[in-house]
Structure 1
């Protein structure tokens, strides 16, 4: 096969060699399809990191920066240095900042509460500088204050240069650090968190509306922040509650606001499912279940995090957010992060969540004989309960494309010191198995290729 390929290349000349070389470079680097993408999902109560993709890679925060500006403003309110009705002076420098802005006038003032609303809802760059100058004297000094606070909160990979997120090559962060900041805002200043759920406010007799569409489109979403500059793509931090469980998620690098929001909704949906499995103590995702024995060491997790409460929570250091160890795979190069297509990895992920896919997940999978060419499969988890294993495998099967629909669910019971059930999709050949696992990995689902 290799010899025949070499002969064909020689016949067609250097041009074909160059073309194949270019294709090899593209195929070898799928993660480069969207170098700005990163995401993380955290269960606040348990501290589990439910999903992480490029979570520690350097990114531009854009207007997610304003969450730190707000954190320092809340800190001054809590200390009694400011009140919600305290006037903040507007300088000509602050008024000169580019949109998005409230268009405050140099020499005027605005109350602290309006500043909070303008930062969260309007994402006003001019108001961010007003706050920076009031708290730090200058934008540059406030940037140092922000970075110092980031270190105190455990955001070791974040550096701030300005209070609004306008382009600055030195202002960088990670998705994990932004999740840490989101959680600390809720932990340390829950009395101010309701501001993050507001979608409009009144300024000088006019109604000002916001950019965070997830607050109205995703059931349970009750706050956080959006952001965009060209260098960052479309970012968002979101907190949502379902059945009494709260998740915080950060998505960075969306190609559009709409695709970013849809991707966030999908991450949260899958995060709530996975969090419920963790909560029951049933999910054995991190165990080595490729053989008859299991390594029950489990995945590293956060220390328990106090959920949002209506009363003031004591300040404390949040444990470093650790992602679960990836599942073992027979193919080390198998992507473990959601990258998608070169056109729009976020939108490509979302096109899979169509009603037809959901309908397929509920359809009984055809039982077909497993011959020598179909002796491969994909393992998607191990559970202590066979019903949960079957449900998870069926959900994974429903995510596969039509040409992989011959895959059938197989639940394999393993008896030892502890009985568990391996959730697998079988009846695949080798190429189909690897393709199926790559597809599931792009959607953030853990998997490994197995041969029977």
Structure 2
């Protein structure tokens, strides 16, 4: 995408729903920069790490509960090490708690025109209800430079000193490709290898997004090819507002806060039984995956059927892997139903019909029920894949335990009937 005009130079599945992984931290930093610009915090303000922040999965800075770092140190740890604990601590500092901060993130996304994005946490650790699009990430990349040029230089930081330790960054295009000045890498097993790059060369500026790479190297090479191909085609002149301007009285922001639904979409009417209400719990969801654990590694958990999409003659410096859900831009102000994905085992959403066997306020309990059911009925579920789905009810997040991969309603009902003979309750639902 031309960062000066907003023109799309190349695209492939740019509106397909993807998991952002650590690209999520771009929005965490956007809101941090906004707070700095408004004088609500300073670079030297202490960021206290709660027990929840300190317990986040690696990679992280490793700050103990109750200890603190400065805002600037937290920023540097995010842009280099992609520290999950620092992102959560910043989110709790700015929002009071992480769920509130996630709603702030989603509202800001709507204000910037990012209509296909929903945030659930500050760091990008796996959550089936957190997703974005390559086009939205390009918009956010442009917004970071456009709205906060005074802080944008942080993204070009390749390393920093934390005490006596030098922490190196994950973005290996910095220093490799002329003009690359940030922005962010990302990786989980479910997302594949993601990258947003900003490039400035002379009077030309572009932002590119690659999502779903099968390895860090292939993703970086894909980005390098796109930069070399499309940077010369970018405009040398500016023109027009590209994204919503960062103003405190933006009516879109206020509307988004009011109109974003807080509850799960209704279930189909033709289910054989009603799901029991779950009991509220304050337990945190599990974080079985780490994001940006190491950006050079390859992973067998990324499906072999999800390679980087080959370039084709369409229109953005935006490339992404096979879609997580049907390619569809989410209507503005509408929060879509969370994607049905087990963030550990698969890079795609089971389509067609599924059967639901349990619901729990703990993701770990929902997953345990899937494992137990698989052991109880291995033949019935031989061709099915288990996954969990997050949904909100009365302000509490619950997790549905489902098996997908049924080609028809009849097949799903037949499986349910077989499970009921083993005293396992279930109902069929269309994905």
Shorter-chain-normalised TM-score: which range? Answer: 0.5 to 0.7
Give 3-state SS (helix, strand or coil) of 1:101's partner: coil
Query: 2:86 is matched with which residue?
Result: 127
For residue 345 of structure 1, report the CA deviation from its aligned partner. Answer: 4.1
CA displacement, residues 377-397 of structure 1 (integer Å, 9 cap, x when unaligned):
xxxxxxxxxxxxxxxxxxxxx
Query: 1:19 is matched with which residue?
Result: none
**Unaligned segments of structure 2, at least 5 residues:** 251-303, 313-431
CA displacement, residues 346-401 of structure 1 (integer Å, 9 cap, x when unaligned):
39779xxxxxxxxxxxxxxxxxxxxxxxxxxxxxxxxxxxxxxxxxxxxxxxxxxx
Give 3-state SS (helix, strand or coil) of 1:141's partner: helix
Q: 1:246 pairs with 186, 205, 210, which one?
A: 205
Query: 1:346 is matched with which residue?
Result: 308
Q: Does 1:304 pair with 2:234?
A: no
Whole-angstrom distance in 2 between the partners of 1:159 and 1:60: 10
Q: Does 1:178 pair with 2:114?
A: no
CA contact (8 A) 2:214 2:308 kept: yes
Cα 1:236–1:248, aligned 2, differ >3 Å: closer, same or farther? same
TM (normalized to structure 2)?
0.57
Q: Does 1:195 pair with 2:157?
A: no
Cα 1:344–1:216, aligned 2, differ >3 Å: closer, same or farther? farther
Query: 1:56 is matched with which residue?
Result: 15
Whole-angstrom distance in 2 between the partners of 1:71 and 1:260: 24
Give 3-state SS (helix, strand or coil) of 1:215's partner: coil
The higher-RCO structure (CA 8 Å, 6+ apart) is 2
Q: Hey, which bits of structure 1, 4+ residues long, moved more than 6 A?
A: 347-350
Give 3-state SS (helix, strand or coil) of 2:142's partner: helix
Query: 1:142 is matched with which residue?
Result: 101
Query: 1:221 is matched with which residue?
Result: 180
Q: Does 1:74 pair with 2:33?
A: yes
Q: 2:229 pairs with 260, 270, 285, which one?
A: 270
Counterparts of 1:377-388 in structure 2, within 5 Å, are none
Give 3-state SS (helix, strand or coil) of 1:247's partner: strand
CA contact (8 A) 1:249 1:264 kept: yes
Q: Which structure features the higher share of helix residues?
A: 1
Give 3-state SS (helix, strand or coil) of 1:107's partner: coil
Whole-angstrom distance in 1 between the partners of 2:99 and 2:67: 22
Cα 1:267–1:315, aligned 2, differ >3 Å: closer, same or farther? farther
CA contact (8 A) 2:20 2:191 kept: yes
Give 3-state SS (helix, strand or coil) of 1:66's partner: helix
CA contact (8 A) 2:6 2:242 kept: no
Cα 1:306–1:181, aligned 2, differ >3 Å: closer, same or farther? closer
TM (normalized to structure 1)?
0.54
Whole-angstrom distance in 1 between the partners of 2:309 and 2:34: 38
For residue 305 of structure 1, report the CA deviation from its aligned partner. Answer: 4.7
Query: 2:220 is matched with which residue?
Result: 261
RMSD of Structure 2 on Structure 1 (CA): 2.5
Cα 1:185–1:115, aligned 2, differ >3 Å: closer, same or farther? same
CA displacement, residues 248-303 of structure 1 (integer Å, 9 cap, x when unaligned):
00110000000000000101111123336xx69xxxxxxxxxxxxxxxxxxxxx96
**Unaligned segments of structure 1, at least 5 residues:** 1-41, 281-301, 308-312, 318-341, 351-452
Query: 1:205 is matched with which residue?
Result: 164
